[in-house]
Amino acid sequence: DIVMTQAPLSVSVTPGESASISCRSSKSLLHSNGITYVYWYLQKPGKSPQLLIYRMSNLASGVPDRFSGSGSETDFTLKISRVEAEDVGIYYCGQLLENPMYTFGAGTKLELK
């Protein structure tokens, strides 16, 4: 199985500042079709996860452009510019390359200072 390793496991951010979350996969997520199958989800407290970024760098519908995704074949970054109170929650990266063995990272908890 592909292992997704996130860092840090928690981050505390001052509102208005930026935050970055890293995710590393144990195997390249670059498909032969040129698409990198890494996704980012946010689970706000007591809520269902929501899709933020798909295929490494594409912003999901309705997601503020303060969020961005980047990376290579195995190393990925979610960046949040100008963190707001509504951004609090647990961020998960996920690999959707190996069907049906999709896997998620352990999650990164974002809190406000």
Partner 1 sequence: QIQLVQSGPELKKPGESLKISCKASGYTFTDYAMQWVKQAPGKGLQYMGWINTQTGKPTYADDFKERFVFSLETSASTAYLQINNLKNEDTATYFCARGHTMAYWGQGVMVTVSS
Which residue number, 57 or 102, has a Cβ lying nearer to partner 1? 102
Q: Min. distance of Cβ 15 from partner 1 in angstroms?
A: 26
DSSP string covering the chain, please?
A: ---EEEE-SEEEE-TTS-EEEEEEESS--B-TTS-B-EEEEEE-TTS-EEEEEETTTEEPTT--TTEEEEE-SSEEEEEESS--GGG-EEEEEEE-SSTT--EE---EEEEE-
Binding site for partner 1 (CB under 8 A): 1, 39, 41, 43, 48-51, 54, 60-61, 90, 92, 94, 96, 99-107
Q: Min. distance of Cβ 44 from partner 1 in angstroms?
A: 12
Which residue number, 1 or 17, has a Cβ lying nearer to partner 1? 1
